Structure 1
Amino acid sequence: MCRTSPRSGRMGRPRNADADTAILEATRAALVDLGWSKLTMGDVAARAGVAKTTLYRRWAGKSELVVDAVAVLFDELRLPDRGSLAADAEGVVLQFAALLERPETRTALMAVVAESTRDEALRARIRHAIVDRQKRLVLEGRRRAQARGELPYEEDESAAARTADLIFDVVAGAVVHRSLVSAEPVDTEWARGFVTLLLGGLAAAAATSPPRSETNSRGHTW
């Protein structure tokens, strides 16, 4: 499992994994109870049972801390092997939606996203710690589908990377909007319809793409 490494490159005493876990759990709990505006590093330290200096050795401030507290939750996501690309995608969509239903995930994610609209450094940290890391699910799904013979192998790596980014944006955007903005359920029926639409769109795009001689690509990707 991929984990955050807050303030990587800093010298000092070795990290304590148990303390980090307690701090990140305390951060999420404090966010649910207090909200972003009232949350302080002192609140988190008191809940985690550590000195405030311990937090500042690891994180420069609460923005970094909250992003890492959210990131470890998203690291729990796994792409299930259900025998087909469509079934795998449906499974991870449902898993993602279930994660967003948890109060600590919902509160923390919405808080950092809202705050990032005024903080470019925070936005970059969200991209690095959450978005870029979770693109692994798209890449894993593509590799698995290629091994099954469901998708061709791409020769144009840059085109494949752009499509993977687009797929991630579509999936994340749709599920977050459905769960957190519209407050509608992401159930099996919705997930199945969404995946059908997504894969159908990819197939249509591949069918209408320019010949391989122009694109150096074999078709769509997952």
Structure 2
Amino acid sequence: MSTPARRTGRPRSAEADRAILGATRAALVELGWGKLTMGDVAARAGVAKTTLYRRWAGKNELVVDAVAAVFDEHLEAADHGSLRADIEDVVVRFATLLERPETKTALMAVVSEATHDEALGARVRSAIVDRQKRLVLVGRERAQLRGELPPEEDPAAAARNADLIFDVIAGSVVHRLLVSAEPVDREWARSFATVLLHGLAAASSGTGTAPAPEPAREHRQKPAGSV
């Protein structure tokens, strides 16, 4: 029986990847999209340019992965005991991340380029958007287990709802910070959560809060491991 062919070359280094992605974000802030080159990134990261090309076909893919990496590292769906608190927390976390110069510059650059580069747009969706939708999925599942939201029996409808929730949250925060140039603080996050959970009527009441919805008792589930 023949033995499997051994892979040649050095194994991929996680440390080198982190250095390359960090160097990409730093170079983008300093040089801008138009002047950024693979050679600049290689020099900053202390690696050969061929090392970059073994991992990424070009700077489009490299910059998208640099943005995706910082989102993966800093965004998490922390459990604060209620859907409202979870929403407020992820909104503030996302805003804090977007206020970092390297994140803001890289994100705006790839979004701009993706408007006329279909392949880049697809990579942005798969590497950034689709991966960050996990925050919505995790938060929704927790809320269903607490009885704050009813379960969704139709997978297609559940997927569409998750897309809509993600678009509302991400779009609102990006517009507030990067278009309107207004702060996203705790007070704004509370008001935003009110609109998201209870609608415009609750926000128009002037209180900034509204009564919590009744739990969906007929379908209430218990968290795994509970009795």
TM-score in same-fold range (> 0.5):
yes
Q: Structure 2 residue aligned with 1:146, among 144, 147, 154?
A: 144
Give the whole-Å Cα distance in 2 for the aligned partners of 1:139 and 1:63.
Answer: 28
Following superposition, the deviation at residue 14 of structure 1 comes to 2.0
Once the 2 structures are TM-superposed, how far is the Cα of residue 30 of structure 1 from its aligned partner? Answer: 0.1
Q: Which residue is 1:131 aligned to? A: 129
Question: 2:62 & 2:27 partners in 1: Cα distance?
Answer: 12
Greater C-alpha Rg = 2
**Corresponding residue to 2:64 among 61, 67, 71:** 67
Q: Count matched residues.
A: 195
- 1:53 counterpart = 2:50: yes
Q: 1:177 to 1:11 in 2, by over 3 A?
A: farther
1:152 aligned counterpart, secondary structure: coil
In structure 1, distance between residues paired with 2:53 and 2:12? 13
- Structure 1 residue 11, shift from structure 2 partner: 8.4
CA–CA distance in structure 1, aligned partners of residues 115 and 10 of structure 2:
34
Code of the residue aligned with 2:177 in structure 1: it is S
Query: TM-score, structure 1 length as denominator?
Result: 0.85
What letter corresponds to residue 185 of structure 1 in structure 2?
A: P
Letter in 1 for 2:52: L
1:121 pairs, out of 116, 119, 123, with: 119
Q: What SS does the corresponding residue of 2:36 show, helix, strand or coil?
A: coil
**Among 84, 87, 107, which residue is 1:86 paired with?**
84
Q: Report the 3-state secondary structure (helix = DSSP H, G, I; strand = E; otherwise coil) of the residue aligned with 1:154.
A: coil
Residue 198 of structure 2: aligned partner: 200
User: How far apart, in 2, do the equivalents of 1:57 and 1:180 lie?
Assistant: 34
The residue that corresponds to 1:188 in the other structure is 186
Cα displacement (A) at 1:82:
1.3
Q: Which blocks of at least 5 consecutive residues in structure 1 are unaligned? A: 1-9, 205-217
Partner of 1:109: 107
Matched, 1:27 2:24: yes
Quickly say closer, same or farther: Cα 1:11–1:68, change in 2 above 3 A.
farther
Structure 1 CA distance for aligned equivalents of residues 36 and 193 of structure 2: 38
| Mapping for residues 2-41 of structure 1, pairs under 5 Å | 13-41=10-38
For residues 189 and 57 of structure 1, the distance between their equivalents in structure 2, rounded to whole angstroms, comes to: 46
Correspondent of 1:173 among 164, 171, 183: 171
Deviations 1:40-97, CA, capped at 9 Å, x for gaps: 0000000000000000000000000000000011112011211100111000000000
Query: Equivalents in 1 of 2:185, 2:102: separation in Å?
Result: 20
**Unmatched tracts of structure 2, length 5 or more:** 1-6, 203-218, 220-227
1:154 Cα offset (Å): 1.2
Matched with 1:5 is none
Q: Read off the aligned partner of 1:15 and give its amino acid letter.
A: R
Q: Tell me the amino acid that sits aligned with residue 158 of structure 1.
A: A
Matched, 1:155 2:142: no
